Structure 1
């Protein structure tokens, strides 16, 4: 962002000074970029898929297999 857009102007000494003609607000809150709609949902979905994939790849403990075999 240029200094002129922030309310400054070039002065005669080659520096910049606040432009009195430009209305500025000292207490103006900084604006942040808003995420694209659905971005948060996509990130949560990716995280859930990652956790699910890791859980599916884990082996079944021997104790659980033993208990399951007793049900038959």
Structure 2
């Protein structure tokens, strides 16, 4: 087989990391006060929901070690 002497047709793809554009993108729009307030309230809602889940979930997940010696009322009535 012989090697081709001409460059690869898509050689510009390999040089893409070196390409510098002289076109600057437009500046980003600043969010309005309403958008900032909405984002803040949404973040507070999510954080509050997670904190509430921890507040109510952690005691429910703890095992009651003092409950092993207890007798339920339904069992005490049958004795």
Give the TM-score normalised by the residue count of structure 1.
Answer: 0.35
Which structure shows the higher strand fraction?
Answer: 1
Return the index of the structure with the highest Cα Rg. Answer: 2
* Greater RCO structure (CA 8 Å; 6+ sep): 1
* TM-score (norm: length of structure 2): 0.33
